Amino acid sequence: MEKQQFYYDNKIVRKFLFATLFWGVIGMVVGLWLAYLFLFPTMSNEIPWLSFGRLRPLHTNAVIFAFVGNAIFAGVYYSLQRLLKARMFSDFLSNFNFWGWQLIILAAAITLPLGYTTSKEYAELEWPIDIMIALVWVAFGVNMIGTLLRRRQRHIYVAIWFYLATFVTVAVLHIFNNLELPVTMFKSYSVYAGVQDALVQWWYGHNAVAFFLTTPFLGLMYYFVPKAANRPVYSYRLSIIHFWSLIFIYIWAGPHHLLYTALPEWAQNLGVVFSVMLVAPSWGGMINGLLTLRGAWDTVRESPTLKFMVVAITGYGMATFEGPMLSLKNVNAIAHFTDWIIAHVHVGALAWNGFLAFGMIYYIVPKMWKTNLYSMRLANFHFWIGTLGIVFYALPLYVAGFTQASLWKQFNPDGTLTYGNFLETVTQIMPMYALRAVGGTLYLIGVLAGVYNVIKTLQTAPKLEDELAQAPALSTISSGRLQGETLHTWLERKPVQMTIWATVAILIGGIVQIVPTIFVKSNIPTISSVKPYTPLELEGRDLYIREGCVSCHSQMIRPFRSEVERYGEFAKAGEFVYDRPFLWGSKRTGPDLLRLGGKYSDNWHFNHMYDPTSTSPGSIMPAYPWLTRDKHDRSNIEAKMRGLAKLGVPYTEEDIVNAHKSMEEQAQKIEKNLYNDPDFVKQYEASKSRAEKEGKEFVPMKDREIVALIAYLQRLGTDIKIKTANAE
């Protein structure tokens, strides 16, 4: 049969490889900055865009979507062409994918530090960027499916099954989680509220981990591990079971992030059941990967690529055993809101994603540039110091998590909390935070060594050219099953049908969980005393979101004796019906705030935001002095209220028209309360005199951002009086 000649597009792979390394360093440097902020919280006091709350989502987005995302595209574009014996369907779409993705990352790097955020985990970017993501992701999918349709290889290899599932599932997750109503150019409100928003968010959030950080990397594992070891995959049958069971079960597991919350019990239990079931397919994939290397351990010892991949697969096995374990209610009661979760997440990120990405890079660079790696010793150094970094990062945080859970739940013989002051539980774990910073530093040193190794390799390598290849054209064949052909073998030569069935598999779980919660009102009982936020409180809530306070403070009291004693009555589903987005949080670096309203004076809140150590000696919370001096822009309040009214919040036209008057009145009351502190009066009058002498504009206290934030904080938890609450 006559063979056709064609060229693999190596240049697009090169672009994504360089972007992977560049954004990887950026994302990890930001992460390290955040780790040191725990130790030196005053480092960012005067610079809003360097504060923890604003940079934390930048770190997660940079690592997940910039570093890992570019690594996914690099690996897919490299492997897909070679597995299908075809150049990518469209060079234009390939480049649109690359430049569009970099533009999205750049937009995130600008908007998140400026405080433009939805605050929804792994989905913080505002609506214009969400639209860009959807367009670029569709371009990637069209390019991939177009390449499948013009392939010269009849059967679709297992790696491509995972690529297809990744494309369709991430598209569905992104679109449905980010359904939002824009009210300004960079502000939107989720169409879901409270409990519904939490369920949809963690349906997305858990499966962003599943279908962005796991399934594409499993596809890369199935391609690069056999290639690097020069051995076939251990078991074809196991790969079939692994793929279909994983994508079907994974999509159900999101509610395990919301155990003991106000989420309906049936949804929580469903999440637990499917999370436990996940052990089987996850470990099936790990076993398939590791046993591919059976008899090749001498090669592993000599190959940095395989060493990285072995630790990566082991990290995947650890994380996917720990995840189902954490979904058990008795374990979750201990681990949730603690640093145990941070350790768990970073075992997956640093070992599974990070090490597999670098193993892939060490394989691709010599192959594609047709040269030898600059330094095997440097690659091995990267491996060992990176491994040491993972250990020093994760182990101290496990200890911190266990310590937190233990201290939070301890009682004295008289029934009072042993550690009634939350800050006491923070100071106990500071040594672990220091070790975490050391671990992060070691890991980053390894990454920099790897980047240097790649740069030196390319300095002496031949110029990269598109690679000439040849293969016979794929002849037409009956669409039906051939004699002796299994159903799955038939499916492997039908990419459209496989994509459709993969979509069906992932939609079932989402429909069963989400539809009843959103459309069956009885699942979310209302409470008549719960009212919408006043205009000033709404603005204060948006400031709270802007500053990323939800990164460290939860607003969800679980029905445990220790939490009720510490924070107040446990949370009810009906309390959150006007919360868009929900702010239940994932981590308690500080105490829960659900019942904060009325607990402290307005002066306390002012001083706490200006200098947290003035009210809480030893606090590691950063200061927010700009809130106490900056004028608050309230010009968009009507647009915000009209948008929320369209979403069902009962704001009347009169409420909207009188919004500024309402804000003025409430702000004046808070300003008056602040005058109760003689020190405040002295400093306020002094600053006023100084501004007049210097001819500068003086912003009255009632017009400053801190006043709106105080209004919101003082509202929290005050809508319901537990003894007299009228549940409808």
Domain boundaries, the chain: 7-471+500-514, 596-715
| Band of pLDDT at residue 44, cut at 50, 70 and 90 | confident
Q: Give the DSSP letter string of 186-210.
A: TEEEESS-HHHHHHHHHHHHHHHHH
* Of the listed ranges 190-199, 542-551, 605-614, 713-722, the one predicted with least confidence: 713-722
Mean predicted lDDT score pLDDT of the chain: 94
Helix axes 215-229, 279-291, angle to 10 degrees: 20
Alpha carbons 642 and 118: distance in angstroms, whole number: 18
DSSP string, 693-706: HHT-----GGGBHH
In percent, how much of the chain has pLDDT > 70? 98
pLDDT exceeds cutoff 70 at 476: no
**332 pLDDT tier (thresholds 50, 70, 90):** very high
In this prediction, residue 480 carries a pLDDT of 67
pLDDT digits (tens, 9 = 90+) for 356-374: 999 999 999 999 999 999 9
484 has pLDDT over 80 = no
* Exposed/middle/buried for residue 265 (C-beta within 10 Å: 0-12, 13-18, 19+): exposed
Q: What is the largest CA-CA distance in the chain?
A: 94
Give pTM, 2 decimals.
Answer: 0.95
Task: Tell me the mean pLDDT in the region 638-659.
Answer: 97
Burial (CB count within 10 angstroms: exposed 0-12, middle 13-18, buried 19+), residue 280: middle
Sign of torsion, CA 574 579 581 583? Answer: negative
Element (H, E) at 521: none
- Which of 565-569's residues contact partners 24+ apart within 8 Å by CB, and which partners? 565/411, 565/416, 565/417, 566/408, 566/417, 566/420, 566/422, 566/591, 566/592, 567/591, 567/592, 567/594, 567/595, 568/594, 568/595, 568/717, 569/595, 569/720, 569/722
Examine the pLDDT at 680 and tell me if it is beyond 50. Answer: yes
Instruction: For residues 612 and 604, give the distance between their C-alpha atoms in angstroms, rounded to a whole number.
Output: 10
Binding site, annotated residues for heme b: 59, 344, 346
AA letter at 59:
H
What residue numbers does the annotated binding site cover? 59, 206, 256-257, 344, 346
Q: How far is residue 329's CA from residue 45's CA, in Å, rounded to a whole number?
A: 39
Distances in whole angstroms, Cα of residue 281 to Cα of each of 277, 320, 700: 8, 10, 61
Cβ-based neighbours of 27, under 8 Å, separated by 6 or more: 59, 62, 63, 66, 67
Q: Are 466 and 7 in contact (CB under 8 A)?
A: yes
Q: Each residue of 239-278: pLDDT tens digit? A: 999 999 999 999 999 999 999 999 999 999 999 999 999 9
CB 418 within 8 A of CB 464: no
d(CA 674, CA 605): 10
pLDDT tens per residue across span 290-327? 999 988 888 898 999 999 999 999 999 999 999 999 99
* Average confidence (pLDDT) over 556-560: 97
Nearest one of 275, 284, 276, 200 to 238, comparing CA atoms: 284
Q: Per-residue confidence at 479, pLDDT binned at 50, 70, 90?
A: low
**Identity of the amino acid at 520:** V
Rounded CA separation 77/92 (Å): 14
Residue 413, C-beta contacts closer than 8 angstroms, at least 6 positions apart: none
**pLDDT at residue 727 in the model:** 32
Closest CA to 532 of 500, 467, 576: 576
Please check whether residue 308 is in contact with residue 358, taking contact to mean a CB–CB distance below 8 angstroms: yes
- Identify the CA nearest to 535 among candidates 603, 634, 672: 634
Query: For residue 449, what pLDDT is reported?
Result: 98
CATH number at 7-471+500-514? 1.20.210.10
Q: Is the Cβ–Cβ distance between 395 and 442 less than 8 Å? A: no
Contact (Cβ atoms closer than 8 angstroms) between residue 578 and residue 530: yes
Report the DSSP pairing between strands 3-8 and 467-472: antiparallel
* Percentage, residues of the chain above pLDDT 90: 88
Rg (CA), the chain: 27
How many Å apart are CA 76 and CA 220, to the nearest integer?
Answer: 7
Question: What single DSSP character describes residue 462?
Answer: P
CA angle 441, 445, 450 (to 5 degrees): 150
Range of lowest pLDDT (167-176, 203-212, 324-333, 713-722): 713-722
| DSSP annotation string for 88-154 | -S-HHHHHHHHHHHHHHHHHHHHHTTTT-----TT--S-HHHHHHHHHHHHHHHHHHHHHHHT-S-S
Separation of alpha carbons 410 and 204, rounded Å: 35
Helices (H), 553-624: 561-567, 602-610, 612-615
Position 276: which residue type?
Answer: V
What tokens does 106 get?
A: 């750049």
Q: Can you give the pLDDT at residue 514?
A: 87
Task: Check residue 726 and give its pLDDT.
Answer: 35
CA dihedral 339, 342, 347, 348 (to 10 degrees): 150
Which residues are part of a known binding site for Cu cation? 206, 256-257
Please report the pLDDT score of residue 477 as a whole number: 54
- Paired tokens of 516: 């009843």
* Nearest by Cα to 530 from 720, 726, 308, 332: 720
- Confidence at residue 723, expressed as pLDDT on a 0 to 100 scale: 44
Within a 13 Å sphere around the CA of 222, how many CA atoms are in the beta-carbon half?
Answer: 27
pLDDT at 693 over 90: no
Quote the CA–CA distance of 454 and 124 in Å, as a whole number.
32
Taking residues 111-129, report their average pLDDT.
96
SS3 assignment, position 402 = helix
Query: What's the confidence (pLDDT) of residue 515?
Result: 86
Selection from 511, 414, 500, 389 nearest residue 35 by Cα:
389
Q: Which residue has the higher pLDDT, 160 or 485?
A: 160
Which residues fall within 8 angstroms of residue 337, CB to CB, at 6 or more apart?
A: 554, 585, 586, 587, 588
Q: Tell me the range of 203-207, 302-306, 378-382, 481-485 where mean pLDDT is highest.
A: 378-382
Quick check: 694 pLDDT over 90? no
List, for residues 196-254, the tens digit of each pLDDT value.
Answer: 999 999 999 999 889 999 999 999 999 999 999 999 999 999 999 999 999 999 999 99
Instruction: Name the residue type at position 283.
Output: W
Query: Residue 168: pLDDT band by 50, 70, 90 thresholds?
Result: very high
